[in-house]
Every structure is written in C-alpha cells, then in structure tokens.
Chain A
C-alpha cells in the first residue's frame, strides 16, 4: 500500500517535470527536467519491482542511472564545446 502511494506520488512528479520539459525557456531547463525525469524513472522501476515482489529490477535501475548521467554530461559537453560538425569543419580547413 505504501509502495503504491509512493509510486503514485513519483508518477505525478514526473508529469509535473514533463510540463517543465515542454515549457522550459532555455535548453538547460529542459535538460535539468529531463535528468529529473530519468531519476523518476529509476524510482518508478525500483518501486514497481518491489511492488510486484521482483527485486531483480534493481539491476535495471543501476544501468539506467549510469546511462542517465552519461547522457546528461554528453549533452552538456555538446553545448559547451559546440557541435561536432563545427570542429570537423575546422579541421577540414
């Protein structure tokens, strides 16, 4: 019952974060909200695993956490260093 309530709360939170992802004025707002949605997905998978008595889902959450953070840092690096195409064009010159 508690697990179900927590799952519901996290789902509502993810819906609110989705609004910010759509409405965010800057790219960084969207990126921040997307990162938080990824964290929400980790929580949803973990809570659902325990709700259905299958704790093996924790492996999925570990993988998802690693991918989430690698993705965020990749996008940040992209915005900091400019696009890859520019660099390649510079090298071609």
Chain B
C-alpha cells in the first residue's frame, strides 16, 4: 500500500518538475530580453530541479541516495538565486539595459528618447557613487599590498 502511494507521489513530483523545466526552457526561447530570460531560468533552475530531485528522493525511499538528493536540493536552492543575482548585477555593470527602459524611451518619442537615455545614465551615475566607496578601499588595499 505504501509502495503504491510512494510511486504515485514520486511520479507526480517528477512529472510536475519535468513540466516546469520544459516551461523554463521554452521561456528561454520566447523571452525578448536578458532580464526576462533570467526570470524564466530561475523557474527551471529552482522549481523544476527541486521537484524532480525530491520526486527521485521519494522514489529512492529511506536510503543513502535520498540523503544525498536532499543535500543536492538544498545546495541548488541556495545557489540558484545567488547565481541569478550575480548574473543580473554583472550584466547591469557591463551596461546591458533592461527592455522596459528602452520601450519607455521609444514611447516618449524620438525627441525625448535621448532625454530618457540621459535620465537612465544619470540614475546610473547616481548609483555609481555608492559603488565607488566600496571599490576604492579594494584598490587602495591592492596598492598597499603591492607596496
């Protein structure tokens, strides 16, 4: 009886996870922009993986493999959002603009588009001084190390 129940639960979990993973992969193709693609990727990387791996853990029963799977799920649940955040921060620092800002600029008209770009640039410049104090101690420490 419990065997059948475990089979049903693991099957439902694995199929749901595979569906989520496939949905995230379709989002990769369909989404227009890096930041929307990050959204789709986090769907497949956290929900899909966690569902499939927990389904496999139920399938394995009370064994060492199930414990390893639980550790794997915990690791992925911690590292997935961290990777997404690091990727988005690196892309913004490298100058990749979100699609919403560009659409906003296009809606305002070609004359004011430059204005919006300017405001985006100034808002980045406003955000930049916050980063500078963080970066300068690093540089000074590097120089100090060099000396």
Residues of A whose CB lies within 8 Å of any CB of B are 2-3, 5-6, 9-10, 12-14, 16-17, 19-20, 26, 28-29, 31-33, 35-36, 39-40, 42-43, 46-47, 50, 55-56, 58-59, 61-62, 65-66, 69, 72-73, 76, 79-80, 91
Contact = CB atoms under 8 A, between A and B. Distances in A.
Interface string B46-85: 0011001100100110010100110110011001000100
Given A43-B21, A65-B72, A5 B15 contact: yes
Contact of A28 (B19, B49, B94): B94
Nearest to A79: B90
Contacts of A46: 52-53, 56, 69, 72
B29 A20 contact: yes
Residue of B26, B53, B60, B63 with highest tally of chain A CB at under 10 A: B53
Interface residues of B, number: 45
Nearest to A62: B72
A32 B34 CA distance: 9
B86 interface: yes
B38 A32 contact: yes
B contact patch SS = helix
Interface of B: 10-11, 14-15, 17-19, 21-22, 24-26, 28-29, 34, 37-38, 41, 44-45, 48-49, 52-53, 56, 59-60, 63, 65, 68-69, 71-72, 75-76, 79, 83, 86-87, 90-91, 93-94, 96, 146
A43 B41 contact: no
A55 B79 CA distance: 23
Given A62-B68, A62-B72, A76-B90, A20 B37 contact: yes
A6 B48 CA distance: 11
A contact patch SS = helix
B28 A6 contact: no
A36 B24 contact: yes
Contacts of B10: 2
Nearest to B92: A28
